[in-house]
Structure formats: C-alpha cells, structure tokens
Chain A
C-alpha cells in the first residue's frame, strides 16, 4: 500500500536524523573530534535540527550544541552568530524538562567564555526564561538554570545587576533550601558570584535572606558545598562593615572554626578567607574574632597547610595585629610569631613571603615589647637575608624595606643588639640610616 510506503520513507528519515544527532552528541564529548565537526559545518545542521518535530531529536541536538560550545569560545561565538539563541530561548519556555536542561546547558556553555558572549545571551532575553526555569518542579532543571545564571553573573557587575534585575536572587535562595546537594552547591556558587562585584549587589543578596540559610548549611558534611558556602559568605562580608556585621550576626562563630580543621584544602582556604574578610574592617570585629578563639584556630590551620592555602590565614593575622597593640599582643601570646617566621623561611613563593613579612611588621610595630617578641624568633636575620638576596622580586624588596623602616630605630636597635647574629648589626644600622 502506498500509504505505508510513504510513511516508511518518513520513518527512515526520522531514524536517520535521530542517529545523526546522537552520534554528533557522542562525538562532541571528545576534544579531538570537535575540530573536524566544526570544519564539516555541524553548526548549521544542528540549528535546523533544533526546530525538529520530534522532541528527542530537539533535545539531543541541544545537548550536542552545548557540548560543542563548551569546548572553546570560537564555537560559542559561532553559536551566537547563527542566531540559535533566540530559538532556544523561545522554546525553553514551553518544552519539557529534558529540553529545558539541554537548553540551559547550551546557555551556560556559551556564557562562560567571555563577557561579550554573556551580554549576547542577556540581550536575547534569556534571563527571564532562565528565572522561570528556576521555579520549575524538577531539580535538574533548576540546577541547569542556576548554573547558567552563575556563569553569566560571574564576569562583571553589569551582568550581575542584570541577573538580579530579572529577579533571580529570591529563587536562588529558595533553591539553596532544596534537599538535593548538587542544587545547593550551584545555588550557593551563583549567589557568591553575584555578591562579589559590588556592595549593592551583596546587599541585595543579604536582603533576600540568604545569609541565615548559608550559615545553617556550614554544618553540612559535603566538602564542595561547604567550599561554595564559605566563598559566598566571604564575598558578602568583604565589602563593608555592615555586611560583615550581618554575617557575624548569623552566628557563624565558632562553627566556622571547625571548617578550618577540614580535610579538604579549599574548605580551609575559604574558611580562613572568610575570617580574614570579617576581621579586616574594624578593631571591634577583630576583637570578636580573637575572643572566639579564631586566632589560635587560624594559626593551627596555617601550620597544617602548604602553599597558597596559607595566604589568607597569614593576611588575617596581619590585619588583626594592625588594629591595636592589645590585639597584636593577643596574636603574640597565641604563638603566632614562630609560625609566621616558619612560613617566611620555608615558603618558596614570593607573595607568601611578602605577606608573612607584612604580618610580622604589623605585629612588631607597636611597642618595644612587640618588637622584642618578633626578634626573639630569629625572624630578622631571615628578613634581611631575603632583602639582600638578588633573586627576590621587586615587590618583596619593597615590602621588606617598608617593614624595616616601619619600626622606629629605638625599637629595632636594642633588639638587634640582643639578637643572635651580631654580624647583621652594622649592616642593619646602615640600612636604617
């Protein structure tokens, strides 16, 4: 019968399309195939398949496009140039959840490369549909939408403002309260990327009531989630005193100190970053940190880490000691100075050494007692040798010179006399003079 033959032709075509799009999606997972695919002109073909009648083909085509755009920014630009985005945005509103996940994946892959591409996504009106996806029932869709919003908001303040204006922040706060861990992670990282650009954006995040939920979730055992939450809190608190006070009011101390003992390096780093951002604003906040025993925990954390993970902890000690001499004395009695001089001598990287030198300077500059406490640990010869060595960078030498000049002569000279190495004494005097 001719009707059946006609239908068979259509079936064959549909099978061929399905096979093609599935193979392309599979090939796009391997980086070596992508060049070939690009040269074969896969973009325009996938674009037509996006408008296919069969939903499975649409979803697989979107998935393949997402994988291609994920690979590098040329392909992402090609996606934008072929006018695929308006079609994606339009059908995002009405299709089922698999298509929504795939389309959000494409938007994320395009938006992550550069601010211009993210601006292109915002211009075609994707933000409203992504925010609608955030209200969806399925957690996978919410996760994909939140991820796309995160990558858009990451680049600069205007894009973050656009994301906030689309009304994403309250929905992200709702997403944080969902039971799925992956969704919580993505929502926390999105809030962190929104809040990091400016104080107004951070204030918007706080107004949506995010801080209370984030503070509750610090106790969650998942390491990646803790890492994102601590990063979000530190981005919020770094802008101003009021925001830092609001974060402190959410009763993060002393729970945050347990994060300093976590096995994961990033969790430790972000926890010490958070404490640093809180302590740097005013003496009262530093006092609060000291009273909660934060200094001891940070010093232990510095002792157990290596490399860049130590840096926020070292800077935190410097900030605390800089505020007043009582706090500097508190740092000294918490056995901070030996730890800092150990960091100074054993770290290979210049910027960590410079930070340790700065912190020691802030501790030692207040009174002769403080200077003596610093000198006792034999930090001064190390400092001078580093200053003199030719291989240390300009920045390092400038910092050391500043440190040595910070201390008045009457503090330093007696200590140099009492110090162990008599040989540096004449040289040191010359430098100071």
Chain B
C-alpha cells in the first residue's frame, strides 16, 4: 500500500517532469490530437445530422401517409364495408318488398276465401234445387195451400216459388247400353228365336180357339226366323286384313304406358331429346318390295289409286251346298 502510494506520487511527478521537459512536443501532439478529434467529431456530427434529418423526414412521410391512409380508410369503410346510404336504401327496398308481399298474400288469402265461399254457395244451391225437385209434391194446389204458402202470410215463402220452378224428378229408368258399331253379328243375334216379340198384355184365357188347320208352330217359327245366311262377300269384309292390323295396333297402343318418346332418366332435367339410333335416323331406308321390281313414273298415271290387290269373292262359291241341284257333288 505504501509502495503503491509512493509509486503513484512518483508517477505523477514523473509525468509532470516528463511534461515540463517535452512541452513543445506535447503542444504539437495536442494540436494533432485536437485536429483529429475535431475531424472525428465533425464526422460524428455529420452522422448525427443525417440521422436526425432522416428521422425527421420519415416522421413527415409517416404523418403524410397516415393522412392519406386515414382518408382512404374512411372512404373505403363508408363506400364498401358499411355504406350507410346503401344500407338505408336496401332496408327501404326490403321493407317495400315486405309490404308488397304482405299485400299480395292478403289478396291471395282473400281470393281463396271468396272461391271457397262461392263453391260452398253453389253446393248449397244445388242441394236446395235437388230438394225442391224431390219435394215438388209439396206445391200448393188451387184448393189446398201448400206448407210454404200459408194463407195468413201476405206473400208465399220463396221456397214455394222454387218448388213451382222445379221440374219433378222422374223415376230412374234402367240405362240402355248403346252399341257403338253395328256389325254383322249384331244383326244375326236379332234373328234368333229368343227375340220373338212378345206382347205386353197376356191374351185372355178363355179365348175361343181359332179355327182351321195350322202348321206346326215350331216350323212356322223356324221359317219366320230363319237365321241370316250371308253370302261370302258380305260375311267377311274385303279389307279384313287391314282391319285386323288396325285392331292389333290399337291393342298394342293400349299397353303403352306413355305416349311420349322415351327419355333418359338421369338427364331428364337437362331437357335432352331422345337421340334415335343410326338405323332409324338414316335417310337410306330399306327398299320396299314394290320398288324392287317396278320403276314408277307418276306423270304417266291416269288416276291416283293403286291396283287392287284384294278382290271381292265370287258369288258362285256362296251358293255351294244351298242349291237344289246335285251337280258337282262327288258320288
């Protein structure tokens, strides 16, 4: 400790002695150091100024940017996010739509009510008319006033007038079925012995028998109601084949579930039409039998009708077995 203090004291003195001995050099060195320090300081000052300037400019820019952003944000929110006037318009439109819908629904409900009332009213009317027709006998006559025409009233009940207007109901007659087409078989059915016309009133029992030899009643009836023997020509129509074809086609059509062309199920909602196969949609059809053999020239035809392929039958064949002669019978 003591040595340290002595060392310190000596160092200061040494330093001081050193200093006083080299004052000139120290002065020069101080000058150099002074200049060097000022140079460093100036550099530092430049940096500081730059930083300060930079900070100031950035603050300015930021402030200006904030101003712009503020304006922009306000505009954006007012226009896009929460447009007050648009919202007001929208709500006004919504409330107007609501009112319109409410009114329309009210009208709809009223219309339904009216329709129902009208339907009820009509049903009541019909019922009353039917009742009037059924009870027409309650109408008043000249001698006896009816129940709706009390003599103590000034004028008759409206029901009385209704009864007067109503046409009385008749007994229900058994409905006669109408036959649509008259064919040969119907005529044949009428000539059977069962359709012998019977009189409504039975003859009196004790009527005197008519005089004279009479033929056997069964023979008479047979002769009278001989069944129709149509000729071959009439019995089977010429165009029987065509009629049969029509019949068959009608029966097949009966079995159809739907007349519309077949549509694919899964793409029904796309409204696609049925695309037929190549065979059906080609314009080159198979040649018909006629076209294979004849070449036709319509200009040379004298009339529109084609040759008759089916001809009426001979009368000779219908007389077979019904003539008196035995000509032609095999012995």
Residue in B91, B105, B109, B255 whose beta carbon sits within 8 Å of that of A330 in the complex: B91
- The reply to whether B101 and A257 form a contact with Cβ atoms under 8 Å apart is yes
Instruction: Using A208-B266, A209-B265 as known contacts, say yes or no to A326 and B87 having CB atoms under 8 A apart.
Output: yes
Residues of B in contact, count (CB < 8 Å): 21
CA distance A261 to B113 in the complex (A): 11
Interface string of B96-125 (1 = CB under 8 A from A): 011111100100110010000000000000
* A296 interface hit (Cβ, 8 Å): yes
CB distance from B112 to the nearest CB of A (A): 8
Instruction: Using A208-B265, A254-B101, A296-B101 as known contacts, say yes or no to A261 and B94 having CB atoms under 8 A apart.
Output: no
CA distance A333 to B93 in the complex (A): 11
* B196 interface hit (Cβ, 8 Å): no
CA distance A211 to B90 in the complex (A): 31
* A130 interface hit (Cβ, 8 Å): no
* A388 interface hit (Cβ, 8 Å): no
- The reply to whether A333 and B91 form a contact with Cβ atoms under 8 Å apart is yes
Residues of B within 8 A of A295 (CB): 94, 98
Within 8 A of B (CB), among A255-276: 257-258, 260-261, 263
CA distance A260 to B87 in the complex (A): 28
Between A and B, how many residue pairs show CB distances below 8 Å? 65
Instruction: Using A261-B108, A326-B90, A333-B95 as known contacts, say yes or no to A293 and B101 having CB atoms under 8 A apart.
Output: yes
CA distance A93 to B75 in the complex (A): 75
CA distance A254 to B91 in the complex (A): 19
Residues of A within 8 A of B265 (CB): 170, 173, 208-209
- The reply to whether B94 and A290 form a contact with Cβ atoms under 8 Å apart is yes
Residues of B within 8 A of A263 (CB): 112
CA distance A209 to B99 in the complex (A): 35
* A297 interface hit (Cβ, 8 Å): yes
Interface string of A325-349 (1 = CB under 8 A from B): 0100110011000000000000000
CA distance A170 to B97 in the complex (A): 39
* A52 interface hit (Cβ, 8 Å): no
* A26 interface hit (Cβ, 8 Å): no
* A431 interface hit (Cβ, 8 Å): no
Instruction: Using A293-B100, A334-B95 as known contacts, say yes or no to A300 and B269 having CB atoms under 8 A apart.
Output: no
Within 8 A of A (CB), among B247-268: 255, 257, 265-266, 268
- The reply to whether B90 and A300 form a contact with Cβ atoms under 8 Å apart is no
- The reply to whether A329 and B91 form a contact with Cβ atoms under 8 Å apart is yes
Residues of A within 8 A of B109 (CB): 261
Q: Is the interface of A mostly helix, strand, loop or mixed?
A: helix
CB distance from A330 to the nearest CB of B (A): 5
Interface string of A201-228 (1 = CB under 8 A from B): 0000001110110000000000000000
Instruction: Using A261-B109, A297-B102 as known contacts, say yes or no to A330 and B94 having CB atoms under 8 A apart.
Output: yes
CB distance from A334 to the nearest CB of B (A): 5
CB distance from A254 to the nearest CB of B (A): 7
Residue with the highest number of chain A CB atoms closer than 10 Å, among B87, B257, B265, B266: B265
Instruction: Using A207-B266, A209-B269, A330-B91 as known contacts, say yes or no to A137 and B257 having CB atoms under 8 A apart.
Output: yes
Residues of B within 8 A of A293 (CB): 94, 97-98, 100-102
CA distance A326 to B83 in the complex (A): 11
CA distance A371 to B112 in the complex (A): 40
CB distance from B78 to the nearest CB of A (A): 15
CB distance from B317 to the nearest CB of A (A): 45
* A292 interface hit (Cβ, 8 Å): yes
- The reply to whether A261 and B95 form a contact with Cβ atoms under 8 Å apart is no
Interface string of A289-310 (1 = CB under 8 A from B): 0111111110010000000000
Query: When A and B form their complex, which 7 residue pairs have the shortest distance between CB atoms, in order from nearest?
Result: A293-B101, A296-B98, A209-B268, A170-B265, A209-B269, A293-B97, A261-B109
Q: A208-B266, A258-B105, A297-B102 given. 14 additional CB < 8 A pairs?
A: A135-B257, A208-B265, A209-B269, A211-B269, A263-B112, A292-B97, A294-B101, A295-B98, A296-B101, A300-B102, A326-B87, A326-B90, A330-B90, A330-B94
